[in-house]
Amino acid sequence: MLLQQLQSLCHISLGQQLNLYWIHKVGVLAALITTVSGVVSIDDVWGDEWDIILISLQSTGPFLHIGALAAVTVLGWLVAEQVVRAERTKFHMILLLVYLSVLLALYMAPLAISSPCIMDKNSLKSRPDVIGRRGAPMLAPENTLMSFNKALQQGVSSLEADVTVSLDGVPFLMRDRTLKRTTDIAKVFPDRQDEDASLFNWTEIRSLNAGQWFLENDPFWTVGSLTGRDRNRIRNLTVCSLVEMLRLAARANRSALLYLRRPPPEHPHYKTWIMDTLWAVQRSGISQKRVTWTPDTDRGRVRGLQQTSLEKLSVEELRHRGISSLTLRYSQASNKDIQDFLANNMSVTVYPVNEPWLYSVLWCSGVSSVSSDTPQVLRKVPYPIWLMSPDKYCLVWITSDLVSIAIVIGIFIFQNYHVIRWRMSGMQNYNPEQIMLSAVARRPSRDVNIMKEKLIFSGTKTQEKGKKCVLPAPWSN
């Protein structure tokens, strides 16, 4: 579809008509249907991810503005050709008005562009800490001891894990409700693969393989880059317990962020799951100040742990609950909200942050830390991708606008060159030669049509007279 649009613009710029064959129309219709279907499918599968587009504009807005301004400026050539060289009709006046309105809107667009990276360099805060979200799930299976080791090798400040309590009260790490996706339960317990993970005892859970699925499915297309030693280790991985992960964090002098899932009501530890988790924390030997608690239930029983909220509450409500930090999804954390929380001594952690550009935007916003599936990628971002002072951005804005204005004026003057020359020479009427030079005019006026008809008819009569004056050759008889 894009190629056909470009071809159409080329035809228009050369003054040619768009004679579309049925194959062209079918192609345009098919491309349109495919595009609409694709957008609907994306919205159905990743509907929650549309917010990332608005956030990406904070990073790309200033550059998209310059690109759009350049495109509309170049488009002025076609608009000027339509308006200047054709008869002044209502359509052409509307076209000119729309074009100038769009151009004016682009000139003023920076007034509406807001990016946290437009700031003074001295106001930039320290680099946000990176939390290993389920370890380093692109380098090793999520929530396994190897994954957390890989995350520590990438310099993370904390380890994040999903905690579930087994049937016999042992907290272990599992993201899903069932064991089907990340273990070989289909081979070991084929009749129980749809059961809740918390309805298995620890001995049964420990007997499952937690790494083979990673090698077979290759969820992040990273298996090919692993060493043979790492692949052998992954083949023999088992489900990790909470105590094992906390002991690893304690040895590395790192913190832990825990997401807890309460067992179903029929579970024998349905009422004691919090105490089971606290007992595991105490057994691991890690300092309670290094463990962050996320559930909003029973916070009074875990006052010794760091408290964070997964819900964006008011500062007053957070203080009333004794919470000093927030852990928010990137779609919930606007730059204004982050600044308000930081001004009230509330630290903010944003998740999931897997791309350098998003990490850069949040760095400029001043967040304390980010939770990432790709600590190996963010490790390579020592500074925001771009940072520009407000004065420099204003200079770029004004300069680009002035250059665009000069180019547009030049385009209209060039397109109107013959008319200006004729007016300066005192020519007020078109002669036939000048009419023929206006071959690119889209809709010739009535007078021009009459003149062309006279030229055609006069040429026809001249040819007929010439035929009558031709004498027959003597040998034709």
- Give CA separation, 112 vs 65, 106, 171, in Å: 11, 10, 50
The residue to which tokens 């759009």 are assigned: 68
Helix (H, G, I), strand (E, B) or coil at 330: helix
Residue 379 and residue 377: Cα distance in Å, rounded? Answer: 5
Q: Which two tokens stand for residue 459?
A: 């040429």
- Give CA separation, 230 vs 53, 172, 261, 265, 375, in Å: 36, 23, 30, 40, 18
User: Residue 312's domain is classified under what CATH number?
Assistant: 3.20.20.190
- In this structure, the answer to whether residues 239 and 371 fall within a common structural domain is yes
Tell me, yes or no, whether 37 lies in a domain. Answer: no
Helix (H, G, I), strand (E, B) or coil at 2: helix
* Segment-wise mean pLDDT, segments of 10 residues, the chain, 477 residues: 55 55 72 76 62 85 94 91 70 88 95 92 95 98 98 98 97 97 96 96 98 96 95 97 98 97 95 94 95 88 91 92 92 91 94 96 96 97 95 95 95 76 55 48 47 53 51 47
- In this structure, the answer to whether residues 286 and 395 fall within a common structural domain is no
- In this structure, the answer to whether residues 185 and 220 fall within a common structural domain is yes
- In this structure, the answer to whether residues 420 and 446 fall within a common structural domain is no
Tell me, yes or no, whether 320 lies in a domain. Answer: yes
Identify the pLDDT of residue 79.
Answer: 87
Tell me, yes or no, whether 22 lies in a domain. Answer: no
Residues 6 or more apart whose CB falls under 8 angstroms from that of 357 comprise 56, 59, 60, 385
Tell me, yes or no, whether 26 lies in a domain. Answer: no
- In this structure, the answer to whether residues 60 and 160 fall within a common structural domain is no
Q: Which amino acid is at 166?
A: S
Tell me, yes or no, whether 321 lies in a domain. Answer: yes
3-state percent breakdown (helix, strand, coil) of the chain, nearest 5: 55, 10, 35
Q: Which domain holds residue 50?
A: 46-116+390-428
2-13 helix and 51-84 helix, angle to the nearest 10 degrees: 20
Identify the pLDDT of residue 477.
Answer: 42
- In this structure, the answer to whether residues 169 and 295 fall within a common structural domain is yes
Tell me, yes or no, whether 291 lies in a domain. Answer: yes
- In this structure, the answer to whether residues 240 and 368 fall within a common structural domain is yes
Domain final residue, candidates 378, 409, 439: 378
- In this structure, the answer to whether residues 244 and 329 fall within a common structural domain is yes
- In this structure, the answer to whether residues 195 and 237 fall within a common structural domain is yes
Classify burial at 224, counting beta carbons within 10 Å of its beta carbon; exposed 0-12, middle 13-18, buried 19 or more. exposed
- In this structure, the answer to whether residues 73 and 190 fall within a common structural domain is no
Tell me, yes or no, whether 4 lies in a domain. Answer: no
What predicted TM-score, i.e. pTM, was given to this entire model?
Answer: 0.80
Distance from chain centroid for Cα 202: 42
Tell me, yes or no, whether 349 lies in a domain. Answer: yes
- In this structure, the answer to whether residues 212 and 87 fall within a common structural domain is no
Residue 206 and residue 168: Cα distance in Å, rounded? Answer: 13
| Domain total in the chain | 3
- In this structure, the answer to whether residues 270 and 320 fall within a common structural domain is yes
Closest among 319, 321, 314, 327 to 297, alpha carbons compared = 321
Asked if 198 contacts 173 with a C-beta cutoff of 8 angstroms, the reply is: no
